[in-house]
Amino acid sequence: MNYCIACVLFLAALTAAEQGFDVFKKGAEVTAYRTLQPCFGELKEGMTVLIFNPEVISRSTRLKFADPAKAPKEDQVQVVCFSRNLKFRAGVEDYSAMTSVFSATGFALGREPFYPLKIALSVSDWSGSLYQHLVTDGKGAKRVLHSYIETEGDKSDYLPEPGDDSYYEDDLPVLIRELNGVFIKMGQKKECRIMPCLWQSRVAGKPLAFEQGVIEKKKGRRIMVGGGIRSSTAWSWQVAGRTVEFQVDQNYPHCILEWKDSEGGLGQILRPPVYTPYWQEHLNKDMALRKQIGVDK
């Protein structure tokens, strides 16, 4: 019931022209990808699951409401919650990294739609776990870090944005889907400042900071998805010495079909997206849905 309330509020925040959002009435968009993840100087085989889900969160706490109907209207913000769940093995160890981005669907904090209000990363392996989040204010982000490693420990700081033309790489997969209008025109290059994604900064062992970057949109190619062919739009960006390219379905709602980077990283879609209220599907019989998504063979 809470999801239905959140979805109605989410849809109401969008223009009438964007009726493609009706797909979210069936539940979150869940898509699985075969993944190659650069780590420890090698490419590790793994799987990534991308989840796009309409939510209503608190403007003040940046937390999801247990019941939006009981929350003060002035404290409610409609967002797209984009989660990226990566799992792979490094030698004998299992690694799991979950990044969640909460992007406002409308104008917020003086910024354009789909500005991230919060970005959170959790990482676990056999040695321990780490949690890090950024809470933005339109001019920068307060960072909180909790790590099992002594040199990192528990800390908090503030990362100022160089200007309005600043972006967070973790939020770019939301922006390039152009869910409520054009981000940049076809063939355009946009010079800007980009903060590398939290997970990538973690793997590279580099301090988190905004760096000079370029975002480009151009014609993509044809990609096989579930026995059919889809034409794509190619989005690429350069930041921190890396080049990343995403192929996005030309048709609304512009699902992510594939990605690759200059370090050998790769994501290839396994099945067409599934729309489902997965948070309600906890019974043994619901496990059949995992095969439909592609996370089980």
10-residue averages of pLDDT along the chain (297 residues): 48 43 80 95 96 94 90 93 97 96 94 96 96 97 94 92 95 95 95 96 89 97 93 96 96 96 96 94 94 90
| Model pLDDT, residue 13 | 44
Query: Residue 192's pLDDT is what?
Result: 97
Domain edges within the chain = 2-293
Of 160, 165, 172, 140, the C-alpha closest to 237 is 172
Q: What's the confidence (pLDDT) of residue 150? A: 87
CA angle 238, 241, 242 (to 5 degrees): 55
Q: Are 58 and 21 in contact (CB under 8 A)?
A: no
Q: Output the pLDDT for position 48.
A: 98
| pLDDT computed for residue 186 by the predictor | 97
